Structure 1
Amino acid sequence: MEEDDDFVDPTDQASQSLSSSSETYLLGFVCANIVGIKYYSGTISGREMVGLVREPLNPYDQNAIRVLNTRTVQVGHIERSVAAVLSPLIDANLIVVEGIVPKSRARNQFKIPCQIHIFAAIEAFPTVKEVISDGGLPLISESNASFALSESMAVKEKRDKSSYKTVDEIFKLVDENVSKSCALEALEPPRSVIKTDLFVHQKEALGWLVHRENSGDLPPFWEEKDGAFVNILTNYSTDVRPEPLRGGIFADDMGLGKTLTLLSLIALDKDPSARNKEKCYETGELDEGFSGSGGKKGKRRGANKKATGSQKRRKTESTPSGALGKGKSVVDGITATLTDIKTTLVVCPPSVFSTWIKQLEEHTKSGTLKTYMYYGDRRTNDAEELKMYDLVLTTYTTLSSEEVLECSPIKKVEWWRVILDEAHIIKNASAKQSQAVMNLVAKRRWAVTGTPIQNGSQDLFALMAFLHFEPFSIKNYWQGLVQRPLAQGNNSGLSRLQVLMATISMRRTKDKELIGLPKKTIDTCYVELLKEERELYDQMEEKAKKTVQGYINDGGLMLNYSNVLRMILLLRQICTDKALCPSDLISLLPSNNIEDVSNNPELLQKLVELLQDGEDFDCPICISPPTDVVITCCAHIFCRACILKTLQRSKSCCPLCRRALTESDLFSAPPQSSEADCNGFSSSGTSLSSKAAALLKLLVASRDQHPATKSVVFSQFRKMLMLLEEPLKAAGFKTLRLDGTMNARRRAKVIEEFGVPGTDGPTVLLASLKASGTGINLTAASRVYLFEPWWNPAVEEQAMDRVHRIGQKEEVKIVRLITKDSIEERILKLQEKKKQFAREAFGKRGAKGLREVGADDLRILMSL
């Protein structure tokens, strides 16, 4: 059975942005011991930051907190008495903790002292203090004289600095090293494999990719001192040379041909001259002249002889025992030792499979890159068989489903290279699919996405974890060094992020005119609501404002974000077409008191129906589109598996409102509305909504001007796409629909049909914004209509760039339909804020006054 393409890209979901947007500040610290150190191999040397990771499934202690050193190796656990107090606060998202081992002359063989710094939202300070006090832990806050003993960088940087480098001085040093790198040098792909001429920018990217993969430089923030290797950010010291960071973030704008560049990189693995060049990189004998962004200029012959011993030692340590077995493999009659095999694993959404296959057919010589598609029923159980291929394609959902299987062949292979295509999909580092890709064993790792930053700096943490970029792959470090300073408007946070991006990423945009694409224009068409629509909208918005203001006054805004999202969704649906909403809207608005809907099955069903037609609601636990939806008696929606697992390992309460909850308080969602439910109905039952009428007018005008012009209409509401089909057909348009219910084969057929030229073929494609926003080519069209705005501009840009990309011959016109005097105008302001952040993250140093999106944006959206 073919794998269904129900995978909806979990990017910039409102629930994640709201739940992570509350700014946290240092409340104080508690002293604890790291215990159980004799059972683990991780070591601590001197003063060192450590990672604290919750381990709720620990069979001996459900409150367990693991302690990791900079290399992500476990040192031990926080002692039980302290973990018992802090873990419930961590699980309730009330606090964030950071661990630091202070300097100590004497070392105990059974325990290590540790300072645990506690950060919380200001409004949560009283609650957190009370819980810590009731738990018998002495909290050392700023008013305590012992606070001066804090080893936290957040504290030390406020005091005089003389004997040590500050964090920003360290980042500045790394920045200077990056700035010394020379211009990119173009690299030709091997003609024995690649038959297409690359653009100059693609050749430069290929040169950068090869340099990043083969440079023997120490990873960023590491220095060699007196024969040892020290991480200057964390003070971790080791006599084993750290592995080079071989890979990075390939973030060229969408439509600039990243896939062909990556195929050229894979093709180089089969080219003998490329292998010789790799050896030159590793021995430091590369001729001067090759350089790449994010690395130092190539070493001259004979340079760095001192590092030879360390290099040899590193090579020996980098090959896990059993990763490459003895013997030979045969591929199409060619015999080769396994050490010669360089297999690349590409992980992508199912919709992108067809893109990779098409690119292979168009740009490579037949049979030169042996490819295996590992998904659905096409799954071998033999890891050795996978090693026989140059390229293995699989999906995020496939990896996620096999994460629990010890026998998964994907997990047994040490991949030469892993490429995450549309890598922003793993932005939630806790999701199963994210954990699956992070756990892959690989020598080289690439995160490939045209939109690496969609919502804020938290989007990048999962990419750091996948790349194994220490210490930023540990959440504590990432939050303390980058995310928290950004959220609090500290300029150092943005400058640090810029240094990191310059160090490990490449980003070029289409506005640099790299490939001579036709012009793209974006117009905004403001739509006036009809009288009946306006009255309903104003009534709903007024009640929603009062409800949200009540949450703010009670200090429960973030705890009730699910209700807030529901109200915002209602307002957005009215702007689109009130046919999307239930008839008795007012009854669906929550009161300030939590209503038990278990005794009101009609209300329960309407709540679920309201949410299931939108593509923008995520399970608050896994931050992914909910599957097997259930709703709680306190009116919160989760995946069935997520909430059941949470109830089993916690104190049986709702993760959002902390109300007591048991399995009997969960209710199944009614079946999803089918196409038959919408057939035969025009928009709003008898007449077109104001937006649908405006769209129809624009499409007719475009057809009158150019009859053969093809248009794509994007909406995030599948039901809206179905509602538009009948009026467009009545107006003489031939339409097709593309949405997340279609499997990969059906989707490819729709795209192929849409590509048929002339007026006899379909001229309007009704496409789901998110399910069609990645990995497909719609250059047959030259008009794009965005039926409603989405929180995240990156999702819209992904959709636009399905049309405006390599292969487009016509000027592209984008029209955004925005309801006047509504929440949609405020969403545009929020979008611009996020665009500015993404630009600055890759931009020049020293930008000022920028904060990440926070809880204040809720007030903007609700006009409070």
Structure 2
Amino acid sequence: MDSEEDSSQQQHHLSQWDTYLVGFVTANIVGLKYYAGTISGREFVGLIREPHNAYDPNAIKVLNTRALQVGHIERAAAAVLAPLIDSHLITVEGIVPNPRSAANKFRIPCQVHVFAHSSAFAAVTDAFANSPLHLISQSDPSFTLSDSIAVKETRAENKFKSLDAVFKFVEENVKNRVLQPLQPPPNVIKTELLQHQKEALGWLVHRETSGDLPPFWEERDNSFVNALTNYQTNTRPEPLRGGIFADAMGLGKTLTLLSLIGLDLDRRENAKRGRKRTRNGGSGSGSGSGSSSEDMESDATLIVCTPSAMSTWVAQLEEHTLRGALKTYIYYGDRRTGDAEELKKYDVVLTTYSTLANELRLAEAPVKRVVWWRVVLDEAHTIKNVNAGQSQAVIALKAKRRWAVTGTLVQNGYSDLFSLMAFLRFEPFSIKNYWQSLVQRPLSQGNARGLNRLQVLMAAISLRRTKEMSSVGLPLKTIETHHIELSAEERKMYDEAKEEADAILLRYGSSEGLVYSYSAVISMILRLRQICTDFALCPSDFKSHLLPSSDIEDVSKNPELLQTLVRILQDGEDFECPICISPPTDIVITCCAHIFCQPCILKTLQRSNPRCPLCRRSLSESDLFSAPPELSNVDTTELCSSEKGLSTKAFTLIKLLTESRDQDPTAKSVVFSQFSKLLLLLEEPLKAAGFKTLRLDGTMNAKQRANVIEQFQGSEKDGPMVLLASLRTSSTGINLTAASRVYLMEPWWNTGVEEQAIDRVHRIGQKEAVKVVRLIAQNSIEEKILMLRERKQARKGFGMGMDMVVDDLRFLLE
């Protein structure tokens, strides 16, 4: 497993750049007699680096479409390819051009196609020139002999396609698809479903019970062929039981899923009354249950969610199901059971991604020993980084039916979808090599074939309806931008900070230089944003800690600077790890002052010749520094007694809230910010203005969050009217329909997170028109962030390599 994770991480690392076909070499697949995997004809194969192989440290194993090992690339070829793979210069893909010859039972010729970033072409070609392998490039007449899809698509017309094109196709497919509505059993579900929920229930049941061939499989002459890879088998492929339930946020997916669970319970109750128990597709092997004789089969549905969504699931169970109808267990924190048999007693087991991640390496963890009837990933975009521990944990779960549920299907680009394919175990897309070749690379290069494949795939296995398409009839939502002019003092402080930003650009003007000073640049951007919101967030001596003393920042001998840098980054919730382009799960700082997720950088260090992914400096685990724990007991008295007084934004917010209260004293409001300290700063001024407030942030556990939401959703006349909420903490899995006003204190990098937060208010159950107000400082970095978001939306799905990241940083600071 470790070797496959290493390879997957390597592929992910290279996928941050656009890679192009350098050429191909011919090498034999050997060791055929030792493995069960077969190749019956011209077939695309996966090549996986296996650095821990006991017999050959250069080993590259070969997998067929069904993820079964066929053999290894012969040693002589592997000795040339493996060092280039390990140094991140190339990625490789393979295709067997001809059916296996009966005359040669011990080897199969394979065309190994080599891909690299354009800047590495010269180094790669030089490496092959000094090796026994002949690299056939596009200038070689023999290049036309390649049977690879990659070659054909290299010659294809390059057309830019946006991510929206995929989902527009899916939405059109939904309009043309006849969705047969189903009613949930009244002895379990007490709430009447809306029409679009009944139709979704019918689709979910169809996906779980249909015997249709998986997408891209065809029956030909009593055999079955995968149209993409040419894999052929006489055994009918198992149907994919499950898929992606991607209705827009706020359309009631939770109630629909509870209805699906209720149908199973109703069937079991009927069986108890003497009917013959029937379950279509009972074995479910096509869904990748991966069970063994020691595993325990269960009728339960395992629901994996975020901590903030846990309370929502509990509340929805109480609201929509008859008391006691669904036996529910929370597998979370101190309530974990040590006995897998205990988990089989329940209809629903609720747990969190972090709980599963903590148990990933515990072989006897009860949740891993159960073969679940169904696993539901709520807010499934949580696993967009396939290499993170929580992603690996849910992918490893055993289940007969698998559902990825999210209203925000894609945040960073098409690569987010690969982790969902891995969880669904939909071969061959669940294998990184195949995903890269068939979808990711063609899409990143604007090729129509990759787009068409993804459209067909998503139309077959996903259901997505928007609020506009559904018949739910939600109240109107309006969004307006309120531009704010900074005060003279704020403008002076902002301009001084901007001068420091200009100094960074002058000193580290090249792309390479900006990469070296990445942490300083990010810190500078963060401070500019804080000044726009409230300069009390920004310490007066921050400038002395920003500029590095050399081209490669080294804070290993300066603990004070190290902690200062960490706290600067912890002030903002939206810092992203440069490896996975996601918020870091555990912040780690290297001796060269670059910041990563702990799982990401540790996997990078497992390779030979480990280096920092940003500055290429040699690294070891002794060069890593853990972030100090976040201070949960902040001195609110000190924060609220700032001599600087209210910031312009805080003053404007209170003015808008007061105007709203004058218009409608019953209207509740949610104020979102990514800065937890700002939420504390606002409490006293709002109290002085006569507002009763609640706060919801990342320092609270699930029980505390549930209590805050319950109080805010209450209808008491003297109850709290303003909720101060952390944007990321409140962007998923909670219901805030008691409010009809939303205030965004600053722009968020990722529009998806912002939209999720807004849809906590604008969703089923909302009775009033919703008004959203963005507060944006004029002539500031905030306006550039809005422009950058539009640029990122336009290129979604086309990679977020360091070249683009550096361009973005320069754009923000210029």
Q: Which TM-score band applies after superposition, normalised by the shorter structure?
A: 0.7 to 0.9
What does 1:611-760 align with in structure 2 at a 5 Å threshold?
611-620=569-578, 625-626=583-584, 629-639=587-597, 643=601, 646-647=604-605, 649-682=607-640, 685-757=643-715, 760=718
Instruction: Decide which of 142, 145, 151 is 1:146's aligned counterpart.
Output: 142
Partner SS state of residue 98, structure 1:
strand
Match of 2:263 in 1: 268
1:344–1:179 CA distance, 2 compared to 1 (3 A):
closer
- Residues 1:193 and 2:188 are matched in the alignment: yes
Shift of 1:270: 2.4
Match of 2:401 in 1: 444
Which letter maps to 1:27? V
Instruction: Decide which of 175, 183, 186 is 2:178's aligned counterpart.
Output: 183
Render the CA deviation track for 1:149-169: whole Å, top value 9, x for unaligned. 2222121356799xxxxxxxx
Instruction: Decide which of 335, 344, 363 is 2:301's aligned counterpart.
Output: 344
Q: For the residues of structure 1 that align with 2:405 and 2:181, how far apart are their CA atoms?
A: 20
Render the CA deviation track for 1:91-110: whole Å, top value 9, x for unaligned. 55543332222225536444
8 Å contact 1:62–1:649 — kept in the other structure?
Answer: no
Render the CA deviation track for 1:785-808: whole Å, top value 9, x for unaligned. 111111211111111111111111
Which letter maps to 1:269? D
Instruction: Decide which of 109, 116, 130 is 1:113's aligned counterpart.
Output: 109
Shift of 1:622: 6.4
Partner SS state of residue 183, structure 1:
coil
Shift of 1:397: 1.4
8 Å contact 1:826–1:861 — kept in the other structure?
Answer: no
What does 1:507-522 align with in structure 2 at a 5 Å threshold?
507-512=464-469, 514-522=471-479
> Comparing 501-510 with 384-393, which one deviates more in the overlay?
384-393
Partner SS state of residue 269, structure 1:
helix
Match of 2:321 in 1: 364
8 Å contact 2:588–2:627 — kept in the other structure?
Answer: yes
Render the CA deviation track for 1:260-314: whole Å, top value 9, x for unaligned. 10111111112349999996977xxxxxxxxxxxxxxxxxxxxxxxxxxxx9998
Q: For the residues of structure 2 that align with 1:540 and 1:23, how far apart are their CA atoms?
A: 34
Instruction: Decide which of 483, 487, 500 is 2:440's aligned counterpart.
Output: 483
Shift of 1:70: 0.8
Which letter maps to 2:122? P
Match of 1:474 in 2: 431
Partner SS state of residue 210, structure 1:
helix
1:175–1:527 CA distance, 2 compared to 1 (3 A):
closer
Match of 1:435 in 2: 392
- Residues 1:425 and 2:382 are matched in the alignment: yes
Shift of 1:247: 0.9
Q: For the residues of structure 2 that align with 1:395 and 1:654, how far apart are their CA atoms?
A: 31
Match of 1:335 in 2: none
Render the CA deviation track for 1:395-420: whole Å, top value 9, x for unaligned. 11122122212212222222211111
What does 1:235-384 align with in structure 2 at a 5 Å threshold?
235-272=230-267, 322=293, 342-384=299-341
8 Å contact 1:827–1:861 — kept in the other structure?
Answer: no
Q: For the residues of structure 2 that align with 1:102 and 1:249, how far apart are their CA atoms?
A: 34
Instruction: Decide which of 204, 211, 215 is 1:216's aligned counterpart.
Output: 211
Match of 1:859 in 2: 807
State the superposition RMSD in angstroms: 3.6
Instruction: Decide which of 111, 120, 125 is 2:121's aligned counterpart.
Output: 125
Partner SS state of residue 679, structure 1:
helix
8 Å contact 1:682–1:688 — kept in the other structure?
Answer: no
Partner SS state of residue 335, structure 2:
coil
Q: For the residues of structure 1 that align with 2:380 and 2:558, how far apart are their CA atoms?
A: 42
Render the CA deviation track for 1:384-404: whole Å, top value 9, x for unaligned. 332232211111112212221
Which letter maps to 1:192? N
> Comparing 357-366 with 116-125, which one deviates more in the overlay?
116-125
Q: For the residues of structure 2 that align with 1:407 and 1:312, how far apart are their CA atoms?
A: 23
8 Å contact 1:456–1:834 — kept in the other structure?
Answer: no
Q: For the residues of structure 1 that align with 2:289 and 2:752, how far apart are their CA atoms?
A: 37
Match of 1:46 in 2: 41
Match of 1:610 in 2: 568
> Comparing 69-78 with 607-616, which one deviates more in the overlay?
69-78
Match of 1:328 in 2: none
Shift of 1:343: 1.8
Partner SS state of residue 468, structure 2:
helix
- Residues 1:411 and 2:406 are matched in the alignment: no
8 Å contact 1:789–1:816 — kept in the other structure?
Answer: yes
Match of 1:505 in 2: 462
Match of 1:232 in 2: 227
> How many residues are treated as equivalent by the alignment?
785
> Comparing 103-112 with 711-720, which one deviates more in the overlay?
103-112
Shift of 1:724: 2.1
What does 1:63-102 align with in structure 2 at a 5 Å threshold?
63-80=58-75, 82-83=77-78, 85-87=80-82, 89-91=84-86, 93-102=88-97
1:862–1:576 CA distance, 2 compared to 1 (3 A):
farther
Q: For the residues of structure 2 that align with 1:603 and 1:321, how far apart are their CA atoms?
A: 52
Shift of 1:502: 1.1
Q: For the residues of structure 2 that align with 1:216 and 1:661, how far apart are their CA atoms?
A: 51
| TM-score, normalising length: structure 1 | 0.83
1:125–1:696 CA distance, 2 compared to 1 (3 A):
farther
Match of 2:420 in 1: 463
What does 1:144-183 align with in structure 2 at a 5 Å threshold?
144-157=140-153, 182-183=177-178
Match of 1:402 in 2: 359
Q: For the residues of structure 2 that align with 1:17 and 1:112, how far apart are their CA atoms?
A: 28
Instruction: Decide which of 180, 203, 206 is 2:201's aligned counterpart.
Output: 206
Render the CA deviation track for 1:487-515: whole Å, top value 9, x for unaligned. 22334433332222211111111123521
Q: For the residues of structure 2 that align with 1:441 and 1:834, how far apart are their CA atoms?
A: 37
1:219–1:435 CA distance, 2 compared to 1 (3 A):
same
1:57–1:768 CA distance, 2 compared to 1 (3 A):
farther
Match of 2:24 in 1: 29
Q: For the residues of structure 1 that align with 2:313 and 2:336, how far apart are their CA atoms?
A: 18
Match of 2:740 in 1: 782
Which letter maps to 2:484? V
8 Å contact 2:241–2:284 — kept in the other structure?
Answer: no
**Taking every aligned residue pair, what percent have the same amino acid on both sides?**
65
Q: For the residues of structure 1 that align with 2:380 and 2:174, how far apart are their CA atoms?
A: 26
Match of 1:829 in 2: 787
Partner SS state of residue 362, structure 1:
helix
Render the CA deviation track for 1:400-446: whole Å, top value 9, x for unaligned. 12221221222222221111111000101111211111122222111
Render the CA deviation track for 1:671-716: whole Å, top value 9, x for unaligned. 4344434532249751233322222222222222222321111111
Q: For the residues of structure 2 that align with 1:152 and 1:596, how far apart are their CA atoms?
A: 46
8 Å contact 2:213–2:237 — kept in the other structure?
Answer: yes
| TM-score, normalising length: structure 2 | 0.87
Render the CA deviation track for 1:458-511: whole Å, top value 9, x for unaligned. 111111111112221112222222222222233443333222221111111112
- Residues 1:801 and 2:749 are matched in the alignment: no
Which letter maps to 1:467? L
Q: For the residues of structure 2 that align with 1:63 and 1:730, how far apart are their CA atoms?
A: 69
Q: For the residues of structure 1 that align with 2:235 and 2:171, how far apart are their CA atoms?
A: 26
Q: For the residues of structure 2 that align with 1:126 and 1:349, how far apart are their CA atoms?
A: 46
Structure 2 residues not aligned, in runs of 5+:
1-10, 158-165
1:181–1:664 CA distance, 2 compared to 1 (3 A):
closer
Which letter maps to 1:426? I
Match of 2:3 in 1: none
Q: For the residues of structure 2 that align with 1:494 and 1:549, how far apart are their CA atoms?
A: 41
